[in-house]
Every structure is written in structure tokens, then in C-alpha cells.
Structure 1
């Protein structure tokens, strides 16, 4: 993937290989994040909506590689057969973004997409206020179970 532009300029055509060199899907999935959360994150982070699913796929790959660490170290606030959601410390996405060579805007898009996914889930499960309060002092990581 073509991550981490120094000048935050918009990307139009991401490369089709992951960190480990494998060919990535021509049709990005957006990790475990729903489409509405992706669109909202793209708009708020000033990253093209066409790029955000690629960023989220790369983040999903990175998170999946460390899933056992998340289970051991962080609070799981929701889990089902498709995904698990963890509260992580503030600054989590800044650190992970460095590991994935994302630019600051790309990190912001990923952070916003994960948070928005949690908010939408909170609305669906009548836990929105609880999640909003938690997001004031923590970030969130959504890990798909594919």
C-alpha cells in the first residue's frame, strides 16, 4: 500500500500490495468498519473516500496480527462472530499509524472510522452514551474475525 505521504496530498490510486508484499484485493473491504462510518471518517479527516477502505484494510491486517495482545491487554467492550471492539489508550492510533507508515491525515481517518463504528453500534445497542463518555478518555480498535 502507498501509505505515509509526507505532504498529506490526496491519493488517487493506492498500490495493491500489503506490508508483507502479498497482493491485496482489488475490492477493498474497509476492515471491519461499516460503510457509513467510512464515509463519515473520510469527510472529517480530509482523506478521499476511495482511499479510506484501503487504509482500513491495512489497519485490519495489522490489528489481526496482534489480536491476542489486544485480548490480553485491553478491555473488550463488544464482541460477536464478526468482530471484537477494544478500548485502547489515547494515542494508540498515532503509534499504530507510525508502524503502518500512515500520514497524520490517514491516521486520523482510521481513528475516526473506528470511533464512528463504535458510535453506530452504541446507537444500535442502546449504549451510545456509555461509548461517547469512554471515547473522551480512550480510543477504540475494531478487529474483524475473518
Structure 2
């Protein structure tokens, strides 16, 4: 089974800012992971992977990508915003840990983040 793409502490912090009930956010993140997990290979081919570890890969995608994902999952605007924010906060947390926070913040001005939980079967191509 794939790992969780968003850490528990990130979910707690995001839920505090989100316009969805705090208990709803983990369910939404799981729904998104169910959609994204099988698409991991496509993301590896089509998007810039900016981070990879055993149970998580992070990508930068074009603006509007979260609108498409939300439509596929029938998420409300608030739900879409909350899940997107959780992915953004996760990427920034990775950036803080790896000394790349500034670079990620700059990238997020023009692109959106997508974090996908993996089962540890990492493709070891170098991140861009």
C-alpha cells in the first residue's frame, strides 16, 4: 500500500486554516491519493519531480491542475482549496528540511504542487 503523501502535522496545520472540517481533510487527502497513486508513472514522465523519498514524490504541475483533479473527484471549491493547500504545505515542509524552501516558494508562484505517496518503489532519476 502506498504511503501517505501528507504528514500528520501538515494536516493539522492545514486543517486549522482550511474552510473544511478538520476531520474531513484526511479523508479528502486519501481520496486524492487514490486518484494520484495509479498515475505516478504518468507524473514521472510529464512533470518536474522536485523531490523523491521512499514513500513520497513531489511534482510541480501547471496552474489549473488542481481544478482538474477536483472535478475528477467532485470536490467543492473549499475542498479543492484545502487539499491543494495541504500539498503546498507538505512541499514547503520538505523544502525546509532540505534547504530548498526558497526555491520551492519561488516555484509555487507559477506552478502548483502535487505530492504522491508511493509504496517505496522509487524511480531514482535525479530531480530537476
Shorter-chain TM band: 0.7 to 0.9
**Of the two, which has the highest radius of gyration?**
1
User: Would you identify which runs of 4 or more consecutive aligned residues in structure 1 move more than 6 Å?
Assistant: none
1:88 aligns with 2:88: no
Tell me, yes or no, if the aligned pair for 1:31 and 1:53 is still in contact at 8 Å: no
Answer 1 or 2: higher relative contact order, Cα 8 Å, separation at least 6: 2
Q: Which residue in the other structure is 2:12 paired with? A: 39
How many pairs were matched up? Answer: 117
- Which segments of 5 or more consecutive residues in structure 2 lack a partner in the other structure? 120-128
Quick one: distance in 2 between partners of 1:142 and 1:103?
20
Task: Give the deviation of 1:42 after TM superposition.
Answer: 1.8
Q: For 1:32, what is the secondary structure of its paired residue?
A: coil
- Which segments of 5 or more consecutive residues in structure 1 lack a partner in the other structure? 1-29
- Using the size of structure 1 for normalisation, the TM-score is 0.77
Alignment match of 1:49 (pick from 8, 13, 22)? 22
1:112 aligns with 2:80: no
Quick one: distance in 1 between partners of 2:41 and 2:99?
28
Q: For 1:66, what is the secondary structure of its paired residue?
A: helix
